[in-house]
């Protein structure tokens, strides 16, 4: 079982309280909205591509600490990267969060590795991956995504009562 308290203490103290790149880019070349119907959370990601490079990126929205911190750290991680690099990082993050990455092997997650623990908490995986799904949607010029979409690897029906 992941030590959620440690995760919280590490990311909450930092990114939840002082989210980086928080806000909206205007104008933006790419933009998407992401929703998590399970908890009503939603975030938006806007970015400016200069050529193939993420020149600027920002996010905003109402979300839990896991989602907000993941979004904040995502913007830091992909800023300055090419679209291809950012998409590759997205795939790696999704693999890590859903438990498909062997964390004992070398990887390029860096500080993002604090989110590896959510793989043990299926209901929280969605919180961590929502920003990355939204980033992917923004690149693809899909304007809205949902963690309930078919593409969501952790798709599960909502609980009762």
* Binding region for another protein (CB under 8 A): 1, 3-5, 8-9, 12, 16, 38-41, 62-66, 121, 123-124, 127, 158-161
Residues 6 or more apart whose CB falls under 8 angstroms from that of 51 comprise none
Q: Which is nearer to another protein, 87 or 99 (CB)?
A: 99
Residue with token string 């859903």: 98
Q: Which is nearer to another protein, 89 or 127 (CB)?
A: 127
Q: Which is nearer to another protein, 1 or 105 (CB)?
A: 1
Q: How far is the CB of 151 from another protein (least distance, A)?
A: 22
Residues 6 or more apart whose CB falls under 8 angstroms from that of 57 comprise 21, 25, 45, 46, 47, 48, 75, 78, 79
Q: Which residues partner with 41 through β-bridges?
A: 36
Q: Which residues partner with 46 through β-bridges?
A: 31, 58
């Amino acid at each position: 079982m992941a030590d959620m308290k440690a995760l919280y203490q590490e990311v909450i103290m930092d990114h939840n309280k002082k989210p980086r790149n928080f806000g909206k880019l205007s104008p933006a070349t790419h933009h998407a909205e992401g929703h998590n119907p399970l908890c009503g959370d939603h975030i938006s990601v806007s970015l400016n591509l200069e050529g193939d490079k993420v020149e600027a990126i920002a996010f905003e929205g109402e979300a839990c600490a896991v989602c907000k911190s993941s979004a904040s750290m995502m913007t830091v991680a992909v800023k300055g990267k090419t679209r291809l690099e950012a998409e590759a990082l997205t795939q790696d993050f999704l693999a890590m969060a859903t438990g498909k990455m062997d964390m004992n092997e070398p990887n390029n997650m860096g500080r993002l590795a604090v989110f590896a623990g959510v793989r043990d908490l299926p209901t929280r995986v969605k919180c961590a991956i929502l920003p990355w799904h939204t980033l992917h949607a923004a690149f693809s010029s899909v304007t809205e995504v949902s963690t309930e979409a078919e593409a969501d690897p952790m798709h599960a029906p909502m609980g009762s009562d």
